[in-house]
Chain A
């Protein structure tokens, strides 16, 4: 965008060259009719089902409140609980590593894989490893990472980017998936069966056959975790297909990369999240498989277990009094499925592995607002509030969006890389700030306001339909409001005035 756009910021050279600003990406996306059809179909399918699954539980509101309180309490004492996790996991036979950022996490994982002598790993779907770009980092070290979740497989085979937290290939319909399987599977291993159709059951079968040999020979598994229980050192992975169980139990070495906000204090806390997470994400009473493990077990599953605790911007997010609630997120993706903006533009426009409403508040906090995409994300919303309504841990996403908009426009103190810094106001908003300064001056000087309004009324025939100069971007998506023939205050004076006049 070249012009100043007052409703949405346009920014100087982006530090993420791959990602254009949200409005720019969105403009492309909404023109893709296949994409819009796919998203509409998928999000509408899940919306009604989620509502039904939630309605089955009479105590939903109480579960939601408890989930919020558990997470808030944990975040408030996060240092203590992280130390407890370390102690419990170590006592159970695991090894704990700490990674300040993506680079360090990738280095740790690559080193651990290399130490096994293996050159391939099987992966359970994990947001944390997506976030840090682990697959690419391993590739650079000569280690091939195989995604085993069906949707991740579709994304990996299609050399694509994920567009949804739960269903990264939501932007693909069954026909597109069949085409990707037919053309790409052979390059990665077992080819797609002859005559593969687009029936979902056949596509699932093709994935089963393709991945089976990889599971059976795998020596190293890489996962994330949905929860880590501090008091016991237990990790929990919630999944559907069984690929998670394969990766968590068959390899000799298991490496789990987990964000530091995934901790819950006690075993009992799972009783809340195991009720709210499946219903919020896939609208099921319970997902098909949940695995829980504590360190290593005698002769059952991996004999070596590594836990990599990942910061990568989370402590910076924790330092923001309003924004820290984003760390309560349990990655259910209910907010994506109800979002009118997400439904129309899809996940790629958000320029992050975290798309949708939660991504719009998480990415600019984890990465900072320096890049074009991150500064535009807080505006990727109509503030309708549907996301807050469905959130199982009651994250007030609209509140954080408005807070982040303020930060982008006005600048102010933030924490980046553990240091307090003062953010400059965004350049793209100079015209907006100037307009606001003029407005403030006019509104505090009644004579000026009156004179200006009269001038505007008398010249109304000559008003353009759109603004010139920096204002052009504002009227690019809006009509300039029509000015009345007579200012309201003059009309009031004329029809209701006490005759004394104000002049």
Chain B
């Protein structure tokens, strides 16, 4: 007998005492929890996102669409970045004001090569206000998962208010499970030393979030 058959057989025998129950799953669980916490307007939801991002040590900037290239140039300059990793489908105009060296993530570029790049700019799939979370789903403006991981400085652009949802239940509704997803809430951190939070371990130690409106 294969291990598969053995395990499934054990499960069935273990449940022999349980009465038959064919309630469809949709009715089997009582979901009377909230779809979102509090009733915020679109603008308040964006404010809440900004507040929670800052609470977990992300740096938040807000600007109008026209100001974005200038702001990005400023952020890269301030950081002293010599090179910036760019996902294949990033809006070219975002980088119009900077002459920092752009690096594409090629299929054969190695992790070691990516490790020598100072910054990365991506868009996102959506952001969750209640938890201060950005979700990346590998769309062309975000690129592969590794590019937002290896450089030490990540600039993530969120279009507000349309990319912002209030809560986790609302976020899951909008995401496609088949895509590789990365949920990011602040820069990398650890609670492993005396159960107290310290920022900055393996992921980007600086996370800058640009909330762009209009």
Contact = CB atoms under 8 A, between A and B. Distances in A.
Given A42-B195, A204-B193, A246-B202, A98 B2 contact: yes
Q: Is chain A's binding surface mostly helix, strand, loop or mixed?
A: helix
A290 interface: yes
Contact of B177 (A57, A149, A205, A232): A232
A92 B178 contact: yes
Contact of B15 (A65, A242, A287, A318): A318
Interface string A218-253: 000000000001001010000011110110111000
A92 B34 CA distance: 32
A241 B132 contact: no
B196 A45 contact: yes
B192 interface: yes
Contacts of B198: 200-201, 204
Interface residues of B, number: 73
A174 B3 contact: no
B16 to A, nearest CB: 8
Nearest to B188: A242
A79 B8 contact: yes
Contact of A249 (B28, B107, B145, B191): B145
A79 B11 contact: yes
Contacts of A212: 115, 202
Interface string B122-137: 0000001011110000
Contacts of B193: 150, 174, 177, 200, 203-204
B111 A216 contact: yes
B56 A45 contact: no
Interface in A156-170: 166-167, 169-170
B195 to A, nearest CB: 4
A315 interface: yes
Contacts of B30: 62, 65-66, 69
A286 B132 CA distance: 8
Interface size of A as a range: 35 or more
B8 A83 contact: yes
A173 B194 contact: yes
Given A66-B30, A208-B201, A311 B178 contact: no
Interface stretch (A260-268, A343-351, A398-406, A484-492): A260-268
A57 B193 CA distance: 27
Interface stretch (A292-300, A387-395, A429-437, A466-474): A292-300
Given A82-B8, A285-B130, A286-B133, A271 B169 contact: yes
Contacts of B17: 321
Interface string B177-191: 111111111111111
A282 interface: yes
B144 interface: yes
B132 to A, nearest CB: 7
Nearest to B200: A204
Given A69-B29, A240-B189, A98 B195 contact: no
A93 B167 CA distance: 31
A289 B188 contact: yes
B32 interface: yes
A258 interface: no
Contact of A99 (B3, B25, B146): B3
A453 B160 CA distance: 81
Contact of B11 (A245, A288, A299, A318): A318
Interface of B: 2-4, 6-15, 17-18, 21, 25, 28-34, 37, 52, 56, 107, 110-112, 115, 128, 130-133, 138, 144-146, 149, 168-169, 172, 177-204
Given A232-B177, A319-B14, 13 more contacts: A62-B30, A241-B188, A242-B149, A245-B145, A249-B180, A271-B172, A274-B172, A286-B131, A288-B187, A288-B188, A290-B182, A292-B181, A300-B138
Which are the 4 A-B pairs with shortest beta-carbon distances? A242-B203, A242-B202, A315-B10, A319-B14
